[in-house]
């Protein structure tokens, strides 16, 4: 065989051997599996419109005193339900009868509005929408109802504006807006001090008590809840309230931190406040849903006592005390929590 043939045969053999190696199965090696990068973009948080929230508060006051068993109360409910339906929420209306401390039977209406009702990952935002039937604190006619701009109106105004923003930009999560009735029908104060209000116990929050004992939605278990109460007054401060700390402490810490990062640390203060009786009391203790309270609860006096403002349960609880910057601080913070799924 010539040297040329030997050379060509050698080349072919090498090529065949190489091809054979590439066809032979390789040994399986335990290589760590890298999870694909989550390229899902977070939904940007909308801009909360404080002007709209302010107007929603005025709309409520235009109906008059929203006291159970009155036409003004019923007309306001019709308006609220219409707005929520316009915003694409699915409504569940819970009606019932509860006994007030006076012995009167009250016809109540809890309004439950759900967005993305099929979603299992849910957050609950709630407030009360009724007004107190008597101005039992401060001077003046104590039997006359209060306007309820801050106490009742502000929480509704903020939640309706949040609902409007949700209708414009889907947060890609489940959101429930709950409006409790008959929160403010508690027994009358006799000595005009806040401790007197707290000792009246279960005469308050009749709507949330009824809701907690008679769940209108089977197996309802949101991740947690945020209650808004008196969130519209100028220079309001929202401390870390005692029951909120006890039942939803981790959520309190995260929300107050986010509020500070958003620039609202002067509203969401780091002070620890004593526990109060509010709708979240019964949501936590009866329904078992961890719920925190964003509530105007300001230090008063040199001994650090807390109160709900000089206008609380008086005729001064009107539009004059409502401040758009406060509405913005609360509304933008809660929108941020919802859209960033915190």
The pLDDT score that the predictor gives to residue 305 is 77
pLDDT tier for residue 329 given thresholds of 50, 70 and 90: very high
CATH architecture, range 50-339: 3-Layer(aba) Sandwich (3.40)
Looking at the predicted structure, is the pLDDT value of residue 6 above 50? no
| pLDDT band with cut points at 50, 70 and 90 for residue 232 | very high
Residue that has been written with the tokens 């005729």 in this structure: 315
Domains of the chain: which residue ranges? 50-339
Q: Where are the alpha helices (DSSP H) in the chain?
A: 3-23, 50-63, 71-86, 155-168, 194-198, 206-213, 242-261, 279-282, 324-339
Q: Give start and end residues of each alpha helix (H) in 64-131.
A: 71-86
Greatest mean pLDDT range, 18-27, 131-140, 185-194: 131-140
- Hunting for tokens 């032979």 — which residue is that? 24
Q: Please list the residues that pair with 241 across neighbouring strands.
A: 273
What b/e sequence results for 10-39 when a residue is b if at least 16 CB atoms lie within 10 Å of its CB, and e otherwise?
eeeeeeeeeeeeeeeeeeeeeeeeeeeeee
Give the pLDDT confidence score for residue 140 in this predicted structure: 78
What is the distance between the alpha carbons of residues 25 and 323, in angstroms, rounded to a whole number? 74
Q: Which tops the pLDDT comparison, 198 or 162?
A: 162
The percent helix, strand, coil of the chain (3-state, each to 5) is 40, 15, 45
Q: What's residue 299's pLDDT?
A: 78
CB distance 207 to 110 below 8 Å: yes
Burial class (CB in 10 A: 0-12, 13-18, 19+), 73: buried
CB 194 within 8 A of CB 295: no
Question: Given this model, what pLDDT does residue 229 score?
Answer: 98
CA 247 to chain centroid, in Å, comes to: 15
pLDDT at 131 exceeding the cut of 80: yes
Q: Does 270 score more than 70 pLDDT?
A: yes
The rounded distance, in Å, linking the Cα atoms of 341 and 338 is 5
| Greater pLDDT, 133 or 188 | 133
* Mean pLDDT to the nearest integer, 13-39: 39
**SS3 for 283?**
helix
Pick the residue with more confidence: 244 or 42? Answer: 244
**Degrees (nearest 5) of the Cα angle 143, 146, 152?**
140
Read off the pLDDT of residues 178-187 as tens digits, 9 standing for 90 and up. Answer: 999 999 999 9
Nearby residues of 119 by Cβ (< 8 Å), 6 or more positions away: 173, 174
Can you tell me the distance from the alpha carbon of 281 to that of 181, in angstroms, rounded to the nearest whole number?
A: 15
Under 8 Å between Cβ of 205 and 277: yes
């Amino acid at each position: 065989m010539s040297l040329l043939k030997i050379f060509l045969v050698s080349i072919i053999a090498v090529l065949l051997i190489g091809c054979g190696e590439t066809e032979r199965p390789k040994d399986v090696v335990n290589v760590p599996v890298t999870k694909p990068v989550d390229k899902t973009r977070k939904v940007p948080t909308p801009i909360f419109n404080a002007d709209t929230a302010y107007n929603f508060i005025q709309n409520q006051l235009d109906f008059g005193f929203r006291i159970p068993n009155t036409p003004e109360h019923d007309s306001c409910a019709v308006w609220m339900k219409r707005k929520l339906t316009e915003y694409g929420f699915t409504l569940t209306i819970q009606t019932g009868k509860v006994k007030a401390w006076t012995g009167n039977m009250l016809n109540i209406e809890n309004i439950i509005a759900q967005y993305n009702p099929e979603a299992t990952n849910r957050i609950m935002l709630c407030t009360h929408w009724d007004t107190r039937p008597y101005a039992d604190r401060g001077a003046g006619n104590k039997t006359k109802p209060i306007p309820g701009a801050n106490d009742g109106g502000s929480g509704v105004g903020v939640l309706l504006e949040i609902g409007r923003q949700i209708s414009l930009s889907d947060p890609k999560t489940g959101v429930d807006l709950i409006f409790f009735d008959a929160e403010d029908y508690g027994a009358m104060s006799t000595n005009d001090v806040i401790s007197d209000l707290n000792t009246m116990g279960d005469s308050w929050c009749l709507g949330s008590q009824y809701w907690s004992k008679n769940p209108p939605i089977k197996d309802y278990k949101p991740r947690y809840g945020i209650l808004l109460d008196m969130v519209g007054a100028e220079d309001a401060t929202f401390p870390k309230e005692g029951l909120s700390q006890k039942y939803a402490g981790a959520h309190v810490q995260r929300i107050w931190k986010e509020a500070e990062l958003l620039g609202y640390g002067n509203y969401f203060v780091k002070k620890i406040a004593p526990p109060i009786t509010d709708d979240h009391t019964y949501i936590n203790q009866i329904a078992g849903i961890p719920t925190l309270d964003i509530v105007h609860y300001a230090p008063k006096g040199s001994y650090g006592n807390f109160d709900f403002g000089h206008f609380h349960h008086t005729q001064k609880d009107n539009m004059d005390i409502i401040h758009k910057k406060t509405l913005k601080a609360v509304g933008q913070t809660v929108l941020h929590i919802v859209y960033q799924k915190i």
